Structure formats: C-alpha cells, structure tokens
C-alpha cells in the first residue's frame, strides 16, 4: 500500500500527540488528577477553594454522584449539590470576565 493512498482520517488514527507536564496545569483530589491545558481556565480553577476544586474533580473526572462525593468528603448529598452548582456558576462568571465583549 502506498502512503499516498492513506486518507487524512487514517493519518489521524496513526498520529500521536506528545504531552508534557509543562503544557498543562494539574489539579489533584483524592489521588486523581485534572489536567487543564488552557492557562485562563487553569487560573480560574486555581482561584477556587480546594474543597470546591475537589467536588468538581470528583464529579467530572471520576464521574461520581453527589452522594458518593458527600461520603468521601463528609458532606450531605444536598450540600455537595449546592457547592457544585454555585462553584460552576462562579467559574462561569470568572471565565466570562476573560472573554472579549460578546463572548
């Protein structure tokens, strides 16, 4: 088979992307890491209190339920839900502040 016959989609399957620790920002909770490549997103995430970072990491990296997160963190399910909801709102506001007018 000639390399000329390889489609762009097949080339994508054959390629790899090197990732270096200096290319992303890492946040950890309960032994699991969240890697954020965008500096502005990482800065906004870093400004959150550690407990709120943990809730988001456990929810979106480990895909845990609010009840499971609550057991790990010693909180009720409803408290986790309130923290998660308000933290996502705060994060959205912080990120919108970085956006040019009109989003």
What is the CATH number for 21? Answer: 1.10.10.10
pLDDT for 85 equals 97
Q: How far is CA 79 from CA 37, 45, 68, 87, in A?
A: 30, 20, 12, 12
Q: Is residue 91 part of a domain?
A: yes
Residue 76 lies in a domain: yes
Q: What is the pLDDT of residues 29-44, one digit of tens each?
A: 999 999 999 999 999 9
61 falls within a domain: yes
Q: What is the pLDDT of residue 100?
A: 72
Per the domain annotation, does 103 fall within a domain? no
Report if residue 54 sits inside a domain: yes
Range of the domain at 20: 8-98
Q: Tell whether 31 is covered by a domain.
A: yes
| pLDDT class of 12 with cuts at 50, 70, 90 | low
Alpha-carbon span 73 to 62, nearest angstrom = 14
Is position 1 within any domain?
Answer: no
Structural domains in the chain (count): 1
| CA nearest neighbour of 52 among 3, 85, 14 | 85
Q: pTM, whole model, 2 decimals?
A: 0.72
């Amino acid at each position: 088979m000639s390399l000329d016959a390889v489609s762009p989609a097949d080339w994508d399957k054959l390629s790899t992307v090197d990732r270096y620790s200096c290319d992303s920002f890492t946040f950890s909770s309960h032994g699991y890491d969240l890697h954020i490549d965008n500096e502005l997103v990482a800065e906004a995430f870093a400004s959150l209190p550690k407990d709120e970072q943990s809730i988001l990491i456990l929810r979106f990296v480990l895909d845990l339920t609010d009840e499971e997160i609550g057991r790990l963190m010693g909180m009720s399910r409803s408290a986790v839900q309130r923290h998660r909801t308000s933290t996502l709102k705060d994060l959205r506001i912080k990120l919108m502040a970085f956006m040019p007018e009109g989003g």
